[in-house]
Each structure stands twice: as C-alpha cells, then as structure tokens.
C-alpha cells in the first residue's frame, strides 16, 4: 500500500521565509505606479494606504493564525473552512484556490517575470515562452522534494531583500529629499473616499499570499507554535519594508513621476546608480518574483493534493500520488498546467484583480470562523489565541467586507465584470462537488453489495 503521509521536515525558518517570500513579490516593484495614478500623482494617500493595508493584513494574520494553530492540517484555509462550516464550503474553498486563485496568481507573477526578463535581454517575442517556461521550471524543482522547495524559499527570500535594502539605503543617501511625502493627500478634483478603496485593493495584492503558509502545516515540525509566529512576524517585517521603501522612492522621485513608470523601482535605481542600476534592480525583481512564484506553487499544490486525498476532485487517485521524495508530483504539475493556461492571456492586472476579489471572500469566512469556532468548540486546544478578542477579528471582517463590496460595486464596470467572472468560476465547483459525492456514494453501494454477495 502506497504511503501517502507527508514528511514533517519544515521548521520555523522555512515557514517565516515562505510568508516573507510569498508576500514580497511583484507588488512592491509595480503597484506604486497604480497607486499614484489613482491618487492623481499625490503622495499622501499612497503612504497612508501602505500603512493601512499593512495593519489590515496584520490584523487578518493575527485572526487567521488562531485557526491555523488550532487546526494544523495540510490544506490551509480550505481545511479551516471545512472544519467550521462543513464539507461543501470547504470544497469550494479548495476548488477556488486550485482553479482560480493559486494558478491566477502564479500566472500573473510569471507574466511579470517574463516582462522583466524580455526587457533585460531585449527580445519581447519571448514573453509567452518565458512565462510558461518559468512555471514549469519551478514545478520541476518542487518535484524534487518539499525540502528543496523550502530551501529555494529561504535562499530567494534572502536574495530578494538585497536590492530592496540597496534602494532604501542609497535612496535616502543620494536622493534629494525635496519631494513631498504626505501632502497633498490626493490630487485636484479627486475624492478621498472614492479612491481609498481602489488604492487599498491595489496595495493588498502586494501584501497577499501570507495565509497560504497554513497549507504547509502537515509538513511542519511544530505548527502550533511556529505557524502563528511565522504569519505575524513575517507580515510585520513585510510592512516595515514596504513603508520604508516607498518613502525611499519618494525621497528620490516625486509621486507624479513614479506614476509614469511601469517599474518604479527600476526608475529609482537608475536615478541613483545610473543605467546599470536599472538592470541590477531588474535582476532583483526576477529573483523576487521567482521566490514568490515558488511559494505559491509549493503551498498551492498541497491544497490540490488535499482535495484529491478527500476524493472530491475528479481523477483523485492520480492527483493524490506522491513520488519517491514524498511530494504530490501530479498535483504540482496540475497547478502548473492551469497556471500556464492563464499565463497565455498576458493580462497581469486582470489576473491580480480576479485573484484578490475571490480570495477575500473566503478570508471573510475565515475571520468569522474564529468567532464561530470559539462558540461551537470552546474547549478546543488553542496554542495561540488572537489578542484583544473580539475586536481584532471584527476589524478583519469589516476590512474584508470593505474590500469585496468596493471592488464589486464601486470600482467601475470592468471591475464588476471581473468579480462576476470570479464568482462564476467558484460556483462551478458546486456541480463538481455534487457529482463527486454521488459517484462516491454509488461506489460505496457497489462495494457494499459486492461484499454482501461474497459473504
């Protein structure tokens, strides 16, 4: 009989680097343009929103960490929602992550990776081949074992911090410091309330990915102790880096000029170091995006694997297969294949908007789940409890509702259509769940009948 037990080889350093590595990716390099375009070239709201989005994410992490520690099973958010709300919602969570959020995010990262790589080598014709190729390369590396994937996370996280530190240090040393930082808050004829939601949605993409470390709980040595520390500690580090580097950007170039560059970090580096600086930062961006892509594939494939083990995914026996290094090889390449299909669209912003909307729907359920679980299972062992309960969970729920409602109703028709598309793809999981349940019931009846005939 095949051993389907995942090895517990991952420690605190891997979990922490996975949080930092998955969160610090494309957003810190690219989203400043979107932010300052939305604010009309004004810096104030941009800086405020980086802090506010960081606090929202930390509160979300503090809240979700209670469930992660209390239910330390492979599968992450899907398992939490299943334990709290039942099998159907649990499956929909895993389905959404498997067919939309994880591959959509991986594809968006691959597109950004390819755009920067083609800029570096000067050949735009290679955009799609590089997009698909980098996904398959990362999948191949992850097939060598969870320790290999974890080691890639640690190394890439350390490497990606180097260009960020260089920009921060030399930005403050060589920058003029004459550009406005907090004033004006927004540009002329722009309403603060109307653009705050759009700016937060853009920045929350830069902070996203933290919850997926929970999917590695089944492979962690001490998840109850290490998982909350990794989530909260990692997010605190990320927030500090994001705020400081955005201050460094503004120390070198004004907000209205940053709004004109698709890769503001490269523009800042070129101003500081000259033409060679831009190329150095492009290399840094490639390393950063590579690490984030690896983190999403490392954790996302475990969600697919868990669905397969629960026999709720069509072809579950195939997707649940582990290779000789005890990693879910077929699940890894399924996620990579779906990601490659999304990558063929070449639409970075569309994919990120789609991913953020759908994942925050389930974040809200997770935050509510902390309150529900306390009521339903008061005696459940909780190695970690969210501080200032229930204030922090309520803030997390309200923040999530703001993100979802704003994107669905108040960010324009294009945004509304993207949200509806995400809902449709998610709801398609319902007939899949019903079909697989009926199939399992039929198989169970057949097996029972065969057993009775033999008896």
Of 3.40.50.300, 1.20.1740.10, 1.10.3720.10, 3.40.50.9100, the CATH number of 12-439 is: 1.20.1740.10
pLDDT at 74: 64
Residue 43, classed as helix, strand or coil, is coil
Which tens digits make up the pLDDT trace of 395-414? 999 999 988 888 888 777 88
- Say if residue 215's pLDDT is above 80: no
User: Which tokens hold the place of 221?
Assistant: 């040595």
- Say if residue 16's pLDDT is above 70: yes
pTM for the predicted model, two decimal places? 0.84
Of the ranges 126-130, 193-197, 287-291, the best mean pLDDT one: 126-130
Which tens digits make up the pLDDT trace of 345-395? 998 888 988 888 899 999 999 999 999 999 999 999 887 788 889 999 999
Q: Which residues contact 205 (CB under 8 A, 6 or more apart)?
A: 27, 31, 352, 355, 356
- Say if residue 332's pLDDT is above 90: yes
The C-alpha angle 89, 295, 156, rounded to 5 degrees, equals 165
Count of Cβ atoms closer than 10 Å to residue 161 Cβ: 19
Per domain, the residue ranges of the chain are 12-439
H or E element that contains 66: helix 44-70
């Amino acid at each position: 009989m095949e051993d389907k037990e995942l090895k517990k080889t991952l420690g605190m350093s891997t979990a922490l680097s996975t949080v930092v590595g998955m969160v610090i990716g494309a957003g810190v390099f690219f989203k400043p343009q979107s932010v300052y375009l939305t604010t009309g070239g004004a810096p104030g709201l941009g800086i405020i929103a980086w802090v506010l989005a960081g606090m929202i994410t930390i509160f979300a992490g503090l809240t979700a960490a209670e469930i992660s520690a209390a239910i330390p099973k492979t599968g992450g958010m899907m398992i939490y929602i299943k334990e709290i709300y039942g099998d159907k919602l649990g499956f929909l969570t895993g389905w959404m992550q498997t067919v939309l959020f994880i591959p959509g995010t991986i594809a968006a990262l691959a597109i950004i990776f390819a755009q920067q790589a083609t800029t570096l080598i000067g050949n735009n014709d290679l955009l799609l081949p590089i997009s698909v190729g980098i996904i398959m390369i990362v999948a191949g590396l992850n097939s060598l074992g969870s320790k290999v994937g974890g080691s890639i996370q640690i190394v890439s996280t350390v490497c990606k911090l180097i260009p960020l530190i260089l920009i921060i240090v030399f930005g403050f040393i060589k920058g003029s410091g004459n550009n406005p930082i907090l004033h004006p808050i927004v540009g002329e004829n722009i309403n603060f309330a109307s653009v705050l939601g759009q700016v937060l949605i853009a920045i929350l993409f830069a902070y996203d990915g933290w919850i997926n470390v929970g999917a590695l709980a089944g492979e962690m040595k001490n998840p109850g102790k290490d998982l909350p520390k990794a989530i909260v500690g990692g997010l605190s580090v990320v927030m500090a880096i994001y705020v400081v580097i955005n201050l460094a950007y503004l120390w070198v170039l004004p907000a209205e000029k940053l709004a004109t560059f698709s890769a503001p970090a490269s523009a800042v580096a070129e101003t500081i170091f000259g033409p060679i600086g831009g190329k150095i930062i492009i290399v840094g961006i490639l390393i950063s995006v590579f690490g984030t892509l690896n983190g999403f594939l490392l954790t996302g494939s475990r969600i697919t694997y868990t669905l397969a083990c629960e026999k709720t995914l069509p072809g579950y026996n195939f997707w649940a297969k582990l290779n000789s290094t005890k990693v879910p090889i077929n699940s890894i390449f399924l996620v990579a294949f779906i990601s490659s299909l999304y990558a063929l669209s070449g639409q970075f912003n569309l994919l990120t908007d789609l991913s953020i909307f759908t994942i925050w729907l389930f974040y809200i359920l997770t935050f509510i789940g902390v309150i529900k679980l306390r009521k339903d299972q008061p005696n459940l062992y909780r190695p970690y409890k969210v501080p200032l309960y229930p204030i922090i969970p309520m803030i997390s729920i309200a923040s999530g509702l703001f993100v979802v409602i704003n994107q669905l109703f108040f960010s324009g028709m294009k945004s509304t259509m993207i949200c509806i598309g995400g809902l449709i793809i998610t709801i398609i999981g319902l007939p899949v769940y019903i079909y697989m349940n009926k199939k399992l019931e039929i198989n169970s009846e057949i097996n029972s009948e065969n057993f009775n005939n033999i008896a």
